[in-house]
Amino acid sequence: MALTGCKGPRGETAWTAGAQHRAQVRHQAPRVLVLIATAYGRTQWLVDRALRSVYGQADCDLRLVHVLIVDDNEPVAGDSASGRLAAIQGAVIRLRESQGLVDDAFPTGVIANERTHGHSGSGAWNTGIEHFAAAADAGRSFIALLDDDDEWLPGYLTACVEAVTPRTVAVFAHLEWVDEHGSSPKRFTADDLTPEAFFVGDPGVQGSNMFIATRLLARIGGFDEAFTGSCDRELMIRLLDALRPGEEIVVVPQALVRHHHHRGPSVTTDLAAKHRGLDRLYALYGARFSDGARQASLRRALHLFGYRPRSDAGGSP
């Protein structure tokens, strides 16, 4: 499976030193897999919002960004399972036809989750990561995650690809949080991305703005499928711990990802699953960070999710 990333800006007519540099960057562009996990029967959002935003990416070589959708809906067997995959595939085909995409433009596959089901999407993400990491040419590749109810602005992939240097192992653009009251950007810098910050809360990185080197995701073993919530925070703690000398994280200081917060079924609104995930987070990391960080994290969990810890999961707020 040969996958490559976005091109740089178009429109240069004079061959200048700058144009030569951009051509070199395009030639060395990392390979990219767009990985979308879908659940809760949200095929309409998957197609009309998330996937449409992928197909709308600007300044990309449409043949060289591969899309993989992993079905994480409730497990079914036999004909029902193949029928559901066929229904998702059919919705994808109809969107592609409406967009006038030929077969080699944003090639898109649909597969079933082959690992843990329903644990905050972690098994579906890992199914996709394994699928891509097995490719013979995955060494310089990056995986771009996208939730099925979120969307990218048109310049997202190009901005991520152009931020990559030989030292880069992850790129994070700013999120724009969208709800019924409007939208607001979540701003952060690379200095804000520390293990303690992710233990306390969400400094600005979650599924849909993760653009991470495949080799780094493989090194840390992907997502922890025992988590039923907070799996992105836990992954970031391990990712930051695993950075090697000379490796860098780049933050793109633009809001290029829209995260939609809604009242429908989701990982965030399943409080029982969220509480189990928080139990595991505090059991694993509660003793590692300062008491101040632990108390700040617990206050946030109580405010947002009504969470009160068990006696063995980090103490009381």
Task: List, for residues 128-171, the tens digit of each pLDDT value.
Answer: 999 888 876 677 899 999 999 999 999 999 999 999 999 999 99
pLDDT of residue 78: 62
Whole-number pLDDT of residue 76: 64
Q: What is the pLDDT of residue 79?
A: 58
215 Cβ contact list (under 8 Å, min separation 6): 138, 139, 169
Domain that holds residue 153: 17-266
Beta strands in the chain (DSSP E): 32-38, 65-71, 108-112, 142-147, 151-152, 168-179, 182-186, 211-213, 248-260
**pLDDT attached to residue 74:** 76
Q: How many CA atoms lie within 13 A of 148 on its CB side?
A: 28
Asked whether residue 6 is domain-assigned, the answer is no
Answer whether residue 317 is part of any domain. Answer: yes
Note whether 31 and 105 are same-domain residues: yes
Is 297 within the bounds of a domain?
Answer: yes
Residues of the chain short of pLDDT 50, as ranges, are 1-5, 7-27, 312-317
Q: Are residues 274 and 262 in the same domain?
A: no
| Three-state SS letters, 208-248 | HHCEEEHHHHHHCCCCCCCCCCCHHHHHHHHHHHCCCCCCE
pLDDT attached to residue 12: 28
The reported pLDDT for the residue numbered 264 is 57
205, 297: one domain: no
Whole-angstrom distance, CA of residue 246 vs CA of residue 244: 6
Contact by Cβ (8 Å): 146, 67: no
As for how many domains the chain has, the answer is: 2
pTM of this structure: 0.85
Distance CA 159, CA 173 (A): 8
The pLDDT score that the predictor gives to residue 317 is: 41
Residues 163 and 220 grouped into a single domain: yes
What tokens does 281 get?
């987070």
- My answer on whether 38 and 54 are in the same domain is yes
Place of tokens 């399943």: 270
In order of 106, 193, 201, the CA distances from 122 in angstroms are 24, 21, 19
